[in-house]
Amino acid sequence: MTYCIGMLVREGLILMADTRTNAGVDNISTYRKLRLYGNDGKRLIAVASAGSLSTTQGAIQRVTKGVPNPETGKYENWGTFPSIYDAAVATGRALRQVRDSMKDLAQPGVNFDATLLVGGSINGEPSRLFLVYSAGNTIECAPDTPYLQIGELKYGKPILDRALHFDTPLNEAMKIGLLSLDSTMRANLAVGLPIDLLVADAGAGQARINMRIEESDDYYLNLSLQWHQKLAKATEELPLPPY
């Protein structure tokens, strides 16, 4: 299990992903689920993954080597896509191909499904964010609901619905995203630190922040503690039921 968030607000793009993987309670490890391509001032492509590691690794390797464009017949990769939309669509084709190639390996209890978030900006286009499903289809993030989630969705969704808006400042959105991850980690031990974080200004071809938040990060630890304390205090201050 994992949890990844992509947020697209007026000021820019944020992607966050936990790094915990597990194949049972006694087999827990750390694995990067947020990858960055380009980041050279002209081309910024960020990819976050959830689901089968073998499927996501296979799809990403296919795109790295090149995926044929059915309209042009040319092979495209992270360094040649003309737009983020094209990157998302090609990643969907690769994901579907890998998943289909594993059908013969299917067994009860084994799931090869995976989902991806693909976002960024190429050659100065407005920042965009897409969710790519295992079947290869995509949906785009829109101002009415300026976030997309993959993996363990339910625990971190309420704060996003209540607090995040398209006009939310970028740093405020970053804080909301971290609280969403914190809520998820408290409720599901299969999601955990460290957190990989990417922040890019609107239309930027290079990330403003590209870092890993470790277990010892002072800001995150204090944010988590204050959030817990303020929620408890707010609950106490609410009126009791009249019945």
pLDDT tens digits for range 147-156? 999 999 999 9
Structure tokens at 125: 């286009």
Query: Does pLDDT of 2 surpass 70?
Result: yes
Q: How far is it, in rounded angstroms, from Cα 243 to Cα 32?
A: 50
User: Angle 173-120-84 (CA atoms, 0-180°, nearest 5)?
Assistant: 140
Packed helices 53-65 and 84-101: angle between N→C axes, nearest 10 degrees? 130
Q: Is the pLDDT of residue 26 over 70?
A: no
pLDDT (0 to 100) of residue 105: 72
* Residue 89 scores a pLDDT above 70: yes
In 3D space, the residue among 185, 209, 183 whose CA is nearest the CA of residue 196 turns out to be 209
Single-letter residue type at 16: M
Worst-scoring range by mean pLDDT, 24-33, 141-150, 162-171, 210-219? 24-33
- The per-residue pLDDT of the chain, averaged, comes to 94
Instruction: Tell me which residue of 106, 105, 71, 107 sits closest to 89, measured CA to CA.
Output: 71
One-letter amino acid at 44 equals L
Say what the pLDDT of residue 230 is: 97
What strand order describes the sheet that includes 138-140? 34-38, 43-51, 114-122, 128-132, 138-140
Residue 24 has pLDDT above 60, yes or no: no
| The dihedral sign for the CA sequence 138, 105, 21, 62 | negative
Instruction: Take residue 27 and report the two structure tokens written for it.
Output: 């087999």
* pLDDT for the residue 27: 59
Reported CATH class of domain 3-217: alpha beta
Q: What is the pLDDT of residue 106?
A: 67
Helices (H), the chain: 53-65, 84-101, 157-163, 170-187, 218-237
pTM of structure: 0.95
Please tell me the predicted confidence (pLDDT) of residue 42: 97
Q: State residue 162 phi and psi, 5-degree precision.
A: -85, -35
Residue 25 has pLDDT above 60, yes or no: no
3-state secondary structure 89-143: HHHHHHHHHHHHHCHHHCCCCCCCCEEEEEEEEECCCCCEEEEECCCCCEEECEC
- Whether residue 235 is predicted with pLDDT greater than 70 in this model: the reply is yes
DSSP lists the bridge partners of residue 129 as: 119
The pLDDT value recorded for residue 141 is: 98
Q: Answer with the residue of higher pLDDT: 192 or 26.
A: 192
Q: Which range among 27-41, 72-86, 225-239 shows the weakest confidence by mean pLDDT?
A: 27-41
> Can you tell me the distance from the alpha carbon of 38 to that of 122, in angstroms, rounded to the nearest whole number?
9
